[in-house]
Amino acid sequence: MSYEKLPLQPFFDKIDELKPAFVERLRKAIAIPSVSGDESLRPKVVEMAHFLVDELTDLGFHDIQLKELGVQPPPVENKDLKLPPIVLGRYGNDKNKKTVLVYGHYDVQPALKEDGWSTDPFTMYHDTTKDILYGRGSTDDKGPVLGWLNVIQAHNELKWELPVNLVVCFEGMEESGSLGLDELIAAEAKNYFNGVDTVCISDNYWLGTTKPVLTYGLRGCNYYQVSIKGPGADLHSGIFGGIIAEPMTDLVKVLAQLVDGNGRILIPGIDDMVAPLTEKEDKLYDDIDFSVEELNAAAGSDTALHQDKKAILKHRWRYPSLSVHGIEGAFSGGGAKTVIPSKVIGKFSIRTVPNIESAKLDKLVIDYVNAKFAELGSPNSIKAELIHDGAYWVSNPFNEAFTAAAKATEDVWNIKPDFTREGGSIPITLSFEQLLGTDVLLLPMGRGDDGAHSINEKLNMSNYINGCKTLGGYLHYYGKA
């Protein structure tokens, strides 16, 4: 892409100059163990919200609000446990400027030194030889959240005007299902979030470790179960084997007809709903930094179904997949138990992509399962049903927000970003898009090997510092677009 560069060098230099302050800010944030999944640490999650409020106040944000979300619904040990508040704040309120909402979360995954961390997870450790910052929340998502604050600090010190109005929305329950967030977004869509032009979320990762990415799609997931019921109780195969119809035999036959050994879904009609691949989209895959070896390394085996980079990524991101997950009620222990299970429930899910219609998919799946069962002529009974669904998301990687972020990335990293999707889902993305009616951009700061939910979570210093530059640069290019 050739484009007119904005004179952002003073801003980039200021970010470099403020590096010690930014590292200190991250150190303070990591030191607050804001684990949302641990009820006993809820006061720390709230403390983290107040830490952000203090920082936002110091930086000159206005209309700062802590939105209370009420009591956490069951299952909880403490029935009076309050959800952590959502932190809202504004920087700038100029009618002539575009308004960017940035989302991040200030809660973290649990972490204990005993889990295998090399250093205490809540004491930031700066490995100065590799220039890496270790600590729970460093990359997920405290680094990116503070990145936005760092951008504002740099502007304040430069006495530069921010080219857009910024609205921040930081939640404290992301690692525990984002309880209350959808309701808050819906309630504030026409209030606090009124006038928002676009949403930027920095809460995912580069595909690999060397090349920055912008993410424009996520797959959805429809999860099904098939219950097959026969005898009134579990039976002994020595007494009943060979003389009654066994539910497990039926279920295995049905499950075996869902997908073939090459990963091709055998249920007719699903492929017809998949959006055709355009030449423009296909080209996005050409330069992506990825290889079959990386897939095998991540899977810990040499079992890839596709040997070509583009085919692998397309099957991970833009084609549906069907996985069989388990059988409830089946004998699953060690040894040689001779039980005939009386009722078994098979579980499988389909990762969905544009333009699969969820309700139509459910009908195709359930009718197919029922038809395959009918072919068996079994006297047992079957019930196939959807138990959970979440929609896919895809944005236009050529829109204003993505184009602005691509320019900023190229300015900072001297390389064009890869345009990626993810095979899984980030439900809040869709919530923002649907409830606010705006585009969403996923602009990650960290690398694919940061270990977000794992031990020794880290953020490379270059990703933190260049990440701040990229977030700020994006606001400038978007403001001018």
Q: Which is nearer to Zn ion, 368 or 393 (CB)?
A: 393
Cβ neighbours for 41, distance < 8 A, ≥ 6 positions apart: 33, 34, 35
Pairwise CA distance, residues 428 & 100, whole Å: 16
Catalytic residue among 55, 141, 174, 422: 174
- Tell me the per-residue interface mask from 87 to 116 with Zn ion, x by CB under 5 A, - otherwise: ------------------------------
Pairwise CA distance, residues 104 & 143, whole Å: 10
Contacts of Zn ion in 395-414 (CB under 5 A): none
User: Residue 171, interface with Zn ion (CB under 5 A)?
Assistant: no
The DSSP code for 259 is B
The distance of closest approach from Cβ of residue 315 to Zn ion in the complex, given in angstroms and rounded to an integer, is: 25
User: Residue 439, interface with Zn ion (CB under 5 A)?
Assistant: no
Token code pair at residue 2: 């050739």
Element (H, E) at 344: strand 343-352
Q: Which stretch binds Zn ion (CB under 5 A): 141-149, 254-262, 393-401, 439-447?
A: 141-149
Q: Which stretch binds Zn ion (CB under 5 A): 197-205, 255-263, 303-311, 377-385?
A: 197-205
Query: How many of the other CB atoms lie within 10 Å of CB of 118?
Result: 11
Query: How many of the other CB atoms lie within 10 Å of CB of 401?
Result: 27
The distance of closest approach from Cβ of residue 453 to Zn ion in the complex, given in angstroms and rounded to an integer, is: 8
Active site residue 174: yes
- Tell me the per-residue interface mask from 57 to 76 with Zn ion, x by CB under 5 A, - otherwise: --------------------
Active site residue 188: no
- Tell me the per-residue interface mask from 121 to 140 with Zn ion, x by CB under 5 A, - otherwise: -------------------x
Q: Which stretch binds Zn ion (CB under 5 A): 4-12, 94-102, 199-207, 314-322?
A: 199-207
Per DSSP, the three-state class of 36 is coil
The distance of closest approach from Cβ of residue 434 to Zn ion in the complex, given in angstroms and rounded to an integer, is: 20
Q: Which is nearer to Zn ion, 205 or 319 (CB)?
A: 205
Q: Which is nearer to Zn ion, 141 or 289 (CB)?
A: 141
Catalytic residue among 107, 246, 410, 457: 107
Angle between helices 9-17 and 461-480 (to 10 degrees): 150
Exactly one of 141, 246, 250, 457 binds Zn ion (CB under 5 A); that residue is: 141
Residue where the block lists tokens 């794992």: 454
Pairwise CA distance, residues 338 & 356, whole Å: 42
Total residues contacting Zn ion by CB under 5 A comes to 3
Pairwise CA distance, residues 94 & 85, whole Å: 27
The distance of closest approach from Cβ of residue 144 to Zn ion in the complex, given in angstroms and rounded to an integer, is: 8
Exactly one of 55, 107, 171, 203 binds Zn ion (CB under 5 A); that residue is: 203
Beta strand 86-91 with 125-127 is unpaired
- Exposure of 184 by Cβ count < 10 A (0-12 exposed, 13-18 middle, 19+ buried)? buried
Pairwise CA distance, residues 418 & 407, whole Å: 12
* Active site amino acids: 107, 174
Per CB under 5 A, residues contacting Zn ion are 140-141, 203
